[in-house]
Structure 1
């Protein structure tokens, strides 16, 4: 079977973020390693990333790794990123995710052509973005992570106000982590897709790998409309 270059790049990113030598098993399965500095999860947590039917898991200590190895031994790789399945075999205090991990190549990207919606480019730290975050509320703003972008922001205005915006933060392995946010009153009108399209085009022009990480179904639908493919999921676990 031909190797999927998009999957290879995505796996390379998360292997890098693991901060210790580890790789996704080519024939599936789960590999658990000790990595106190893992970038797969918050400090002190267990991080799980499943891509293409194979998973890597980082644990903060040898003791935690032993517990996790034993608990996950009976689960398929796809199940280790399922919060419900993990709760059945591990004593869990808190879970973040799962978040779907989606990626797009230049040839699969479905760009939104310029039309009725005008997309404007702003500096990533522009104060108008903070106004959008205030409209969206703390939970949605935190989910989007717009304040973390290192790229320009691509925005849609209505009545002079920014009502949708997108951008990306450059991650290791030449990856662009996409952030998209739309004001609640303006959702369902294609604004996120337009702003996201301009952001993805900018990332691809810089030879970056666009990554769309999302839990919310609406956000995942926007990514799929732009040509992204969901290759796996990420889950963070705080052991009880």
Structure 2
């Protein structure tokens, strides 16, 4: 698995995001580094990215590095993004995630039948109304407010009920963002708009990335051909 070209490409993204020289251990395991500028996590937090059988961990300051390294080296890889397991061995006071990390190769892409829904470019006002129509947590989680691509939407009448797009990340990554109104979920609309956004990303020679916590979102990704390689977790450690 470590030599899978898609996994190698995905790992390269996070190596760039680490902010300091790091490496996914060739024989599995963990690499821990001090990086105040890590983009794995919010400033001052510990960031953990597990892909395949290896994990990168960034800590914000040197005084935590040795403690975190000793604790995490004693855990199996699948426990490194398990918030409950980490709470048992570290003074964790706040958690973001975990979120699965999945990536799409053009050869694996399974586009949705766009004849099932009208998918058209939307305007900023349409997205604003869509985001205002859902719970704040859903609006924040989806990331649609920050997309850099054109939005792809499904309308019911004059109302946008589903939308997708992507935000450009370092390393030619298209970070996927998808949202459907609660009353329209379970009808394949998320897959339709995400398919249009993923096709646009691939056409622009970008690597689509799907980061998700809820299982329904992961199912949409799998249906489109995304392959899950691991997970990301951020933790804030108390003093």
Q: TM-score, normalised by structure 2?
A: 0.97
Deviation at 1:2, TM superposition (A): 7.7
Q: 2:234 aligns with which of 224, 233, 236?
A: 236
Q: Give the secondary structure class of the aligned counterpart of 2:69.
A: helix
**Residue 222 of structure 1: aligned partner:** 220
Structure 2 matches for 1:11-30, cutoff 5 A? 11-30=11-30
**CA separation in 1, counterparts of 2:142 and 2:153?**
14
Q: Give the secondary structure class of the aligned counterpart of 2:114.
A: coil
Deviation at 1:214, TM superposition (A): 0.3
**CA separation in 2, counterparts of 1:239 and 1:219?**
29
Q: Give the secondary structure class of the aligned counterpart of 1:19.
A: coil
**CA separation in 2, counterparts of 1:72 and 1:237?**
13
**CA separation in 2, counterparts of 1:64 and 1:131?**
44
Q: 1:149 aligns with which of 127, 147, 150?
A: 147
Q: Give the secondary structure class of the aligned counterpart of 1:97.
A: strand
**Residue 117 of structure 1: aligned partner:** 117
Q: Give the secondary structure class of the aligned counterpart of 1:157.
A: strand
String of CA shifts for 1:13-50, please: whole Å, max 9, x gaps. Answer: 00000000001112100010000000000000000000
Structure 2 matches for 1:84-103, cutoff 5 A? 84-103=84-103
Number of residue pairs aligned between Structure 1 and Structure 2: 238
Deviation at 1:179, TM superposition (A): 0.2
**Residue 176 of structure 2: aligned partner:** 178
Residues 29, 73 of structure 2: 8 Å contact kept: no
Deviation at 1:120, TM superposition (A): 0.5
Residues 176, 208 of structure 1: 8 Å contact kept: yes
**CA separation in 1, counterparts of 2:9 and 2:227?**
13
Structure 2 unmatched runs, 5+: none
Structure 1 unmatched runs, 5+: none
Q: Give the secondary structure class of the aligned counterpart of 2:16.
A: helix
String of CA shifts for 1:146-199, please: whole Å, max 9, x gaps. Answer: 011000000000121000000000000000000000111110000000000000
Residues 165, 197 of structure 2: 8 Å contact kept: yes
Moved over 3 A (4+): none
Residues 2, 53 of structure 2: 8 Å contact kept: no
**Residue 106 of structure 1: aligned partner:** 106
Q: Give the secondary structure class of the aligned counterpart of 1:107.
A: helix
TM-align CA RMSD: 1.1
Moved more, 65-74 or 184-193: 65-74
**CA separation in 1, counterparts of 2:48 and 2:229?**
14
Q: Give the secondary structure class of the aligned counterpart of 1:222.
A: helix
**Residue 83 of structure 1: aligned partner:** 83
**Residue 137 of structure 1: aligned partner:** 135
**CA separation in 2, counterparts of 1:233 and 1:166?**
22
Residues 135, 184 of structure 1: 8 Å contact kept: no
Deviation at 1:77, TM superposition (A): 1.9
